[in-house]
Structure 1
């Protein structure tokens, strides 16, 4: 074989490999610093599939998917609130699929349908980030409950995520309505609103703001709070005694994808033990039991503090909840 012939053969082989490789468009609301290790791990295990991520906050990704219902642009959703995925499932937008490791997934952390339309990855839950240095300067006591945050001493000292933009914000509002009931839930949020400085468009931002001393109290979630505290931020993590609102990061295949086989590979990986070991670096409660390790910054009974969360109810009432919330509280929303 001449060098020219060999070069031609190699070129043909490379072209064939490229032709066989699939590219998946993946919509996600994962934290930006999580995407790279997840992508690298999947592509190492599946060298014939390349992932192209489109990342936005939960509310924006949910709205984008709904707007594209009749002309889907995404192949897979990897890392979006189960509440949002249930909205999509109810509209017939998700492809049912049972990942290979489905039997190892906790039943409460997957879609009720069989085969499921979405499968959970990990839990993230409400946490109050409390800046002890700034609070001491202002003479603010550490809150112990959600109700504590309505005390006059906290006026203009609190930030939290906007529920239309942030999955963390929505899990807060949904949990308060499920915990306290409709009337008492809205009454609570009315009182909390009096003390609210701003509703921001990110679930992690309130904790970052508290860690930086911009506000002494940020309603956020445990992963970001623990990460900032480990890095030396002067914050305490408060887990309100009434219970913690929560949601699942989950995975789903978008119905109509032209890359179904590759999408199924991603769904298999997302529900596998190797993937769970990646999620464990960020979260204390996983969809697959027996993988998570205790986090010294979280209570030993952390999982038991999660409130009862009806994903179906939350999904079906999401639009009405957000409309009412905006009518009452939009005046303090951060400018987009």
Structure 2
């Protein structure tokens, strides 16, 4: 279910009352003969004084967000003075909502672990194009390479859409899976789980990399072998975590924050980063091109690209295990030193998204 948090300001009415009060006490000039200049009174002198800049709108900026880092709301409001309305949900919920509102968008910014889906919104002409944040030069080379030609979205970080993780009470380290191809081996039959790429936002970038890397036929062949080995598909990554700790499965392809949360809770699990790399889910932010709150929207994107913001998300955020997109930010100390991310081409992944999700839905046993 979508969770909607409305954060409106109560100061608007007070500001309006003060405006009306001071308007009633406004400046005036003495009557003069035709053609002569008005008398210079104290009131007219006051009228010539430059007026302060208008207060920022109290109408909240609406951000459509994955189920992560809702601490961004108070952080942004405190730093910018703009109010924020967060609408959060899983990837399928957010994208369905955006599609349903296509003719009358209710969102101003979308911030999701779904670069291919956001890329497609840009191709469909739904995003602001040609704008560069003022702090874009502070992005890492990795993040700069992900900026599309039309500049319709910007990466705020990337994390492993899945790493390998196993229950140490059930499997010895020597026998644990080391590569993605291991998931189709007989010794792991009926004990592996993963998230549904049609529901969980990070799960599509995970499967898309295999199809992009091996071609459509190669991707189908790989997942045919894995699914035939009895892999269980759960709606979201937290469901996979629960199945792993509950003994329903013993191995999983699991999003990295969920994996490290289990480690930090002292669960009997161990994480393996495959040498060939972990397919990345890139978190990106984009602005709805028809937004009436353009200044606030741009301020929000620049805020989440700021190294101080990204460091605070890593230090205090709910989804704190990720590779930052801003220079000068330190990732979690316990994040593996050999953490290698590989990324599916967003143009390719966007154009094949419906096809791959449909194929996977027809094949997967849930």
Q: TM-score range by the shorter chain?
A: 0.7 to 0.9
Q: What's the CA shift for 1:9?
A: 7.9
Over residues 171-213 of structure 1, what are the superposed CA-to-partner deviations in whole Å (9 max), with x where a residue is unaligned?
A: 2211111233322221110111023342111134313432343
* Alignment check: 8 A CA contact 2:152 2:287 kept: yes
Residues 323 and 10 of structure 1, relative CA distance in 2, 3 Å threshold: closer
RMSD, matched Cα? 2.6
Match of 2:104 in 1: 71
1:60 aligned to 2:77? Answer: no
Q: What's the CA shift for 1:14?
A: 9.4
Match of 1:25 in 2: 62
Pairs aligned (count)? 314
1:293 aligned to 2:331? Answer: yes
Q: Name whichever of 17-26 and 280-289 sits farther off.
A: 17-26
Residues 153 and 235 of structure 1, relative CA distance in 2, 3 Å threshold: same
Distance 2:325 2:248 in 1: 35
* Alignment check: 8 A CA contact 1:131 1:236 kept: yes
* Alignment check: 8 A CA contact 1:80 1:251 kept: no
* Alignment check: 8 A CA contact 2:321 2:331 kept: no
Residues 264-275 of structure 1 correspond to what in structure 2 (within 5 A)?
264-275=298-309
Residues 18-167 of structure 1 correspond to what in structure 2 (within 5 A)?
20-31=57-68, 34-35=69-70, 37-47=71-81, 49-96=82-129, 97-109=131-143, 110-114=146-150, 116-125=151-160, 126-135=162-171, 141-167=175-201
Rg comparison, structure with higher value:
2
Distance 1:182 1:311 in 2: 15
Residues 145 and 275 of structure 1, relative CA distance in 2, 3 Å threshold: same
User: What's the TM-score once normalised by structure 1's chain length?
Assistant: 0.85
Q: Name whichever of 154-163 and 285-294 sits farther off.
A: 285-294
Match of 2:41 in 1: none
Residues 253-268 of structure 1 correspond to what in structure 2 (within 5 A)?
253-268=287-302
User: What's the TM-score once normalised by structure 2's chain length?
Assistant: 0.79
Match of 1:242 in 2: 276
Over residues 259-290 of structure 1, what are the superposed CA-to-partner deviations in whole Å (9 max), with x where a residue is unaligned?
A: 11211111121111222113333134111132
* Alignment check: 8 A CA contact 1:140 1:153 kept: no
Residues 284 and 113 of structure 1, relative CA distance in 2, 3 Å threshold: same
